[in-house]
């Protein structure tokens, strides 16, 4: 212990410890007390206590364990005030004293990691879909309700209500804190992965809006996926999702221009891509595709890896990408996957081949109002020199696009095709 520890450093250490340990601390308390609200309250009380004590008495050797012990004592205190719980308190008190005797002054820094249970609880299918991501950020990433609200662009009061309602359902409908048995896992794990991926895409799709905050959200999703990957190293789809996000996130600095405009993959400055993330992602892709049939996240990650590997757009390994989209289509026969496969085929076999496939999909209800479909068709028509049809398709895409950066991007395409003609 260092008695001279400066207050600012102690408080920044609390911050770091809090970020690192919050989810674990909370999960451990929830599993002990079975009450998410109580666990949250004592977690923040323990952090407050650290902020008062550490600057004066120095930072303990095992800050995480110190926080856990403090939080547990506070939980027992709170329960003791509730007389109806007297019996339960006696048991908990005895347990607390025993563990402190066995491991004096420290709760062993590697206290059991119960975060996996919390992941499954926050992503439980009995909770409304829009609450799952929020709850995961709140409980496992340790974001405040205000931060979660800002991230999802929802008024803080509405977000607070959403979180309160979800916690109330967990408590009153008694959603258990548990990891599903191995026979239930295939049904439940995709839900957890979906939550993490939707946090990521929420941050990603908006990198053109209120910038920084949302990139934080993508970082948070990656951090959560790393935790999940460490907790379930053998689950190949967890590895695949982590790889996918790293490989996409590696391009973040090249994705937007100086005025926040969207820059497509084909036009990005590949020197801006983050090699370190790409290397991590590629290592993980190999893991996620080894030892059994591939899952959809693993295949998508493999496609992203091929893009990240290419020197430029035209020399990308399109035959391989087309083959992977074929695999993906078998796993997830959705029109959007079929559309992406058609675009890859256009790169491999020429615009005409791609356009024919896209036109076959024209009747798909999910694509009729989907602006990327209209853009893809317009692009191929433009490449084939069918200028009038391309213009009609771009105008349709313009009507369907939802955000300004997307509309601006389509407008630039429109201008480009008319200039091309003028130049001829």
Partner 1 sequence: MKYMLLINAGAVDENGGAEGCAPEDWMVYDKEVREAGILVSGESLANLVTATTVRVSPEGERTVTDGPFAESREVLGGFYVLDVPNLDVALDWAARCPGARGSGSVVVRPIADFGA
Residues of this chain that interact with partner 1 (CB under 8 A) are: 84, 126, 172-176, 178
Report the nearest approach of partner 1 to the CB of residue 169 (Å).
9
- Number of neighbours of residue 351 by Cβ within 10 angstroms: 18
Give the phi and the psi of residue 88 in degrees, each rounded to 5: -65, -40
Indicate the residue among 90 and 187 with the shorter CB distance to partner 1.
187
Minimal distance in Å, beta carbon 171 to partner 1? 10
Please enumerate in sequence order all residues whose Cβ is within 8 A of that of 11, keeping only pairs 6 or more positions apart, or say none.
51, 54, 55
Distance between CA atoms of 293 and 271, rounded to whole angstroms?
34
Determine phi and psi for 220, rounding to 5 degrees.
Answer: -60, -45
What's the min distance (Å) between Cβ of 46 and partner 1?
28
Count the helices and strands in the chain (H runs, E runs).
20, 0
Going by the DSSP 8-state scheme, the letter that residue 83 receives in this structure is G
CB closer to partner 1 out of 149 and 170: 170
Report the SS3 class of residue 223: helix
Answer for the pair 236, 298: CB distance below 8 angstroms, yes or no: yes
| Angle, vertex CA 237, rays to CA 233 and CA 240, nearest 5 | 90
Separation of CA 288 from chain center: 18
Minimum distance from CB of 126 to partner 1 (Å)? 6
CB of 168 to partner 1, least distance (A): 11
Backbone dihedral angles phi then psi of residue 319, each to the nearest 5 degrees: -55, -40
Spatial separation of the C-alpha atoms in residues 1 and 369, rounded to whole Å:
63
- Closest to partner 1 by CB, 84 vs 182, is 84
From CA 40, how far away is CA 201, in angstroms rounded? 27
Q: Which is nearer to partner 1, 1 or 126 (CB)?
A: 126
How much of the chain is helix, strand and coil, in % rounded to 5?
A: 75, 0, 25
DSSP one-letter code for 188: H
Residue number, 121 or 207, with CB nearest to partner 1:
121
Burial class (CB in 10 A: 0-12, 13-18, 19+), 271: exposed
Work out how close the CB of 187 gets to partner 1 at its nearest, in angstroms, rounded to a whole number. 11
User: Of 31 and 99, which CB lies nearer to partner 1 in the complex structure?
Assistant: 31
How many Å apart are CA 322 and CA 347, to the nearest integer? 9
Please state the closest distance from residue 357 (CB atom) to partner 1, in A: 36
Beta carbon nearer to partner 1, 30 or 393: 30
Decide whether 19 or 178 has the Cβ nearer to partner 1. 178
Shortest CB 400 distance to partner 1, Å: 33
Separation between Cα atoms, residue 147 and residue 329, nearest integer Å: 37
Closer by beta carbon to partner 1, 184 or else 260: 184
Q: Which is nearer to partner 1, 187 or 210 (CB)?
A: 187
Nearest distance from C-beta of residue 77 to partner 1, angstroms: 23
Instruction: Give the shortest CB-172-to-partner 1 separation in angstroms.
Output: 6
Helix (H) or strand (E) holding 78: helix 63-81
């Amino acid at each position: 212990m260092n008695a001279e520890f400066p207050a600012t450093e102690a408080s920044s250490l609390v911050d770091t410890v809090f970020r690192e340990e919050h989810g674990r601390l909370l999960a451990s308390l929830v599993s002990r007390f079975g009450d998410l609200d109580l666990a949250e309250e004592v977690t923040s009380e323990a952090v407050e206590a650290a902020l008062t004590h550490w600057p004066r008495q120095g930072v303990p050797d095992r800050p995480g364990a110190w926080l856990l012990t403090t939080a547990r004592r506070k939980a027992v205190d709170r329960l003791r005030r509730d007389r109806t719980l007297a019996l339960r308190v006696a048991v908990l008190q005895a347990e607390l004293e025993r563990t402190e005797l066995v491991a004096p002054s420290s709760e062993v820094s590697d206290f059991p990691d119960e975060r996996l249970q919390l992941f499954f609880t926050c992503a439980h299918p009995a909770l409304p879909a829009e609450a799952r991501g929020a709850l995961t950020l709140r409980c496992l990433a340790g974001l405040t309700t205000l931060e979660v609200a800002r991230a999802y662009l929802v008024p803080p009061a509405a977000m607070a209500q959403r979180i309160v309602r979800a916690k109330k359902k967990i408590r009153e409908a008694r959603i258990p804190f548990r990891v599903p048995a191995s026979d239930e896992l295939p049904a439940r794990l995709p839900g957890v992965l979906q939550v993490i991926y939707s946090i990521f895409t929420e941050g990603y799709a908006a990198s053109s809006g209120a910038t920084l905050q949302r990139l934080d959200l993508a970082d948070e999703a990656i951090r959560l996926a790393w935790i999940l990957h460490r907790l379930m190293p053998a689950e190949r789809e967890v590895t695949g999702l982590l790889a996918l996000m790293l490989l996409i996130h590696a391009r973040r600095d090249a994705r937007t221009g100086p005025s926040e405009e969207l820059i497509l993959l084909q036009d990005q400055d590949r020197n801006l891509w983050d090699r370190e993330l790409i290397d991590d992602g590629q290592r993980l892709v190999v893991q996620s595709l080894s030892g059994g049939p591939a899952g959809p996240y693993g295949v998508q990650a493999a496609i992203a890896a091929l893009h990240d590997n290419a020197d430029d757009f035209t020399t990308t390994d399109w035959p391989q990408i087309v083959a992977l989209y074929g695999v993906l289509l078998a796993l997830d026969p959705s029109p959007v996957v079929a559309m992406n496969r058609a675009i890859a085929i256009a790169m491999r076999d020429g615009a005409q081949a791609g356009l024919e496939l896209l036109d076959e999909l024209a009747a798909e209800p999910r694509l009729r109002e989907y602006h990327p479909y209209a853009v893809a068709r317009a692009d191929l028509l433009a490449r084939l020199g069918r200028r009038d049809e391309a213009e009609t398709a771009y105008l349709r895409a313009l009507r369907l696009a939802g955000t300004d950066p997307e509309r601006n991007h389509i407008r630039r395409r429109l201008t480009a095709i008319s200039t091309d003609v003028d130049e001829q």
